Amino acid sequence: MTTKPAQVFAAKTRWHEEQRRLPPREKIRILIELQQREAESNGIRASLGRPVVAMRPWDTQA
């Protein structure tokens, strides 16, 4: 594992490029997972007195 910022940012750029190249089905799977995380985070937001984000995860599989 590197701690050099240039290498870290280069690795992040590569990761984002890989994410962009994923097939549609895999991206929809991630999108549904993000919806579920967003909905879970609303509990934390509410407990902190922060506004919640309108988010209801899709009732489907990718």
Partner 1 sequence: MAQFRDVLLTLNRLKAEGVIREYAIGGAVAVSLWDEPVATQDLDVIVTVDADSPPLDPLRALFDWFDRHAQPVAGEHVVIAGVPVQFLVAWSPLVEEAVAAAAEAVYDPAEPGSPAIRLIKPTYLVAMWQTGQGADTPRRRERAARLREAGLVDEALLAELLSRTSGQ
Could you list the residues that contact partner 1 (CB under 8 A)? Answer: 16, 19-20, 23-25, 27-28, 30-31, 34-35, 37-38, 54-56, 58-62
Q: How far is the CB of 47 from partner 1 (least distance, A)?
A: 20
Cβ–Cβ < 8 Å for 45, 51: yes
How many residues in total does the chain contain?
A: 62
Of 3 and 18, CB closest to partner 1: 18
Q: How far is the CB of 14 from partner 1 (least distance, A)?
A: 13
What's the number of CA atoms in the CB half-sphere (13 Å) around residue 57?
A: 19
Cβ–Cβ < 8 Å for 57, 36: yes
Q: How far is the CB of 3 from partner 1 (least distance, A)?
A: 25
